[in-house]
């Protein structure tokens, strides 16, 4: 069966022609799918015989809401979706003054092994298809009634470890015939896979690249992020400079503040020296405690921020949303897995 919803408009046009229909039928199918129809029968402007032909060759299976939690504090909604093969992934809807942002997953699980992250505990199960990423945006919008203006690829998974599907998802969600979300409203977060970042740079997309740094020195970073053991901080920053020089887009560095691990003054100073000469923005994140991990949140976030700012590096502290509903990545899926194991 062809994965119909992962197809681009152009591919659907070709498919329509192959099935003996005029090209514009491709656009009709694309419209229906990107409006969230869940059944071929609802594609009312296609002939019955064409719908039959499609049904026999193609499939699309929308995710089911397995669980939904709404924060009483700030209206953040967290969805746990059950995919067609029974796996679950999470999506979070955050409401900001500047618009509604959806945080989506790119893989079932993750193989990067970061010490502070709940998503990686059971390893990677599989990549998500472009359609499964698109559906998280589409069905979050349809279910919540909140119009989505921004997307962040910061949920479960490493997007650049599933790069082809992620690029195709970006093309789909960016389409004027679909959700039409502009690249400048999309952020992609990576643990720092340098070859893939170089490849992304060549595409010169207008999205925002976030690099999960979390430590400016190899000893600390290799301890908490195994990916650092093969590349190292120096090479990562070289790559970030190349990215900026090629795309002209400023990189945002994610830095989860961990007590007595990465929150020392010397680490702030080292971070400043890495960023010399290339504009970048540092996003300090209060660590979300993960039950399975001994790491604790830092109490030095403000001092660290001030030390960066005093030396000319812009740094913001991320506001915590959805603290009452386990809104940080991977936690809800972990809970569901534990329940299933019981």
What 3-state DSSP class applies to 126? strand
DSSP single-letter state for residue 322: -
Segment contacting ligand SAH by CB under 6 A, of 11-19, 127-135, 245-253, 281-289: 281-289
Segment contacting ligand SAH by CB under 6 A, of 20-28, 109-117, 126-134, 138-146: 109-117
The backbone region for 184, taken as left when phi is positive above 0, alpha when psi lies in -120 to 50, beta otherwise, is alpha
Provide DSSP, 72-86.
TTT--EEEEEEPTTS
User: Within the chain, where are the H helices?
Assistant: 9-18, 24-34, 48-57, 130-144, 163-174, 194-203, 218-224, 228-231, 233-247, 265-275, 301-310, 331-341
* Binding of ligand SAH by 287 (CB under 6 A): yes
* Binding of ligand SAH by 158 (CB under 6 A): yes
Total number of residues that touch ligand SAH (CB under 6 A): 17
Least separation, in Å, of the C-beta of 256 and ligand SAH? Answer: 4
CB of 95 or CB of 320, closer to ligand SAH: 320
* Binding of ligand SAH by 154 (CB under 6 A): yes
Residue list 186-205, contact with ligand SAH (CB under 6 A): 189-191
Segment contacting ligand SAH by CB under 6 A, of 33-41, 60-68, 231-239, 280-288: 280-288
The CA–CA distances, whole Å, from 270 to 77, 217, 227, 266, 307 equal 37, 8, 20, 6, 11
Q: Which of 15, 131, 205, 290 binds ligand SAH (CB under 6 A)?
A: 290
Binding site for ligand SAH (CB under 6 A): 114, 116-117, 154, 158, 189-191, 212, 254, 256, 285, 287-288, 290, 328-329
């Amino acid at each position: 069966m062809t994965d119909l919803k992962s197809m681009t408009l152009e591919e659907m046009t070709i498919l329509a022609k192959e099935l003996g229909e005029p090209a514009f039928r491709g656009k009709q199918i694309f419209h229906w799918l990107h409006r969230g129809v869940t059944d071929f029968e609802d594609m009312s402007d296609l002939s019955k015989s064409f719908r039959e032909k499609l049904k026999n060759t193609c499939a699309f299976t929308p995710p089911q809401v397995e669980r939904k939690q709404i924060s009483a504090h700030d209206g953040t909604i967290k969805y746990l979706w059950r995919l067609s093969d029974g796996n679950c992934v999470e999506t979070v809807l955050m409401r900001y003054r500047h618009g509604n942002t959806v945080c989506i997953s790119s893989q079932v699980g993750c193989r990067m092994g970061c010490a502070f992250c709940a998503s990686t505990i059971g390893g990677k199960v599989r990549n998500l298809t472009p359609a499964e990423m698109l559906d998280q945006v589409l069905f979050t919008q349809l279910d919540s009634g909140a119009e989505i203006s921004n997307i962040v690829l910061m949920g479960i998974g490493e997007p650049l470890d599933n790069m082809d599907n992620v690029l195709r998802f970006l093309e789909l969600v960016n389409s004027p015939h679909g959700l039409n979300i502009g690249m400048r409203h999309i952020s992609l977060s990576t643990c720092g896979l340098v070859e893939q970042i170089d490849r992304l740079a060549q595409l010169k997309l207008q999205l925002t690249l976030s690099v999960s740094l979390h430590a400016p020195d190899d000893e600390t970073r290799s301890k908490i992020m195994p990916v650092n053991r093969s590349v190292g901080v120096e090479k990562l920053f070289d790559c970030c400079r190349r990215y900026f020089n090629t795309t002209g887009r400023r990189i945002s560095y994610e830095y989860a503040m961990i007590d007595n691990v990465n929150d020392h003054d010397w680490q702030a100073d080292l971070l400043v020296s890495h960023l010399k000469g290339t504009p970048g923005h540092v996003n300090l994140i209060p660590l979300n405690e993960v039950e399975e991990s001994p790491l604790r949140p830092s109490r030095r976030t403000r001092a660290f921020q001030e030390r960066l700012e005093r030396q000319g590096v812009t740094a913001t502290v991320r506001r915590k949303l959805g603290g009452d509903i386990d809104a940080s990545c991977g936690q809800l899926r972990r809970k569901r897995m534990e329940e299933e194991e019981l």
